[in-house]
Amino acid sequence: MARAAGGRAGDGGNPVAGVRTAGRRPGLIPWDKAGHFLSFYVLTILYVLAAPRAPRWAIAGLLVVAGGAIEIAQGQVGRNAEWGDWLADIAGIACATLPVWLEALRRRMRA
């Protein structure tokens, strides 16, 4: 049986199967979750800037669904799908949108 170029016997021809990645490092901040948080925080801000007339709740809802869809897709392709990752996505979205919503609420209460 011939093996695919770049792979080893028994790895399905995957050229990166032998590559070792850095393991989970102990520490105060779970970096994977911080990456999810920061990514969706920045995505939310960029989306709001790119579509200033779009309702904020629609942007937040779209990004929450997108984060969930990404986790579902990861589970389907053999990667880890974690609730914690999705919750970190949602936290990033909330932290980006919450100040805007609170300011709008404050203005309504003054009027």
Tell me the average pLDDT across 59-86.
93
Sequence-ordered list of residues with C-beta below 8 angstroms from that of 91, at least 6 positions apart, any chain = 37
Q: What is the pTM (predicted TM-score) of this model?
A: 0.69
Q: Looking at residue 78, what is its pLDDT?
A: 86
pLDDT class for 52, splitting at 50, 70, 90?
Answer: confident
Is 65 domain-assigned?
yes
**Residue 70 domain-assigned?**
yes
Question: Residue 34 falls within a domain, yes or no?
Answer: no
Mean pLDDT of 66-93: 93
| Domain count along the chain | 1
Is residue 36 assigned to a domain?
Answer: no
- Where is pLDDT greater, at 10 or 78? 78
Which residues form the domain of 86? 51-110
CA gap 57, 51 in Å, rounded: 12
pLDDT of residue 27: 65
**More confident position, 48 or 15:** 48
Within-domain flag for 7? no
Two tokens, residue 39: 């990514």
9: enclosing H helix or E strand = none
Q: Is residue 10 part of a domain?
A: no
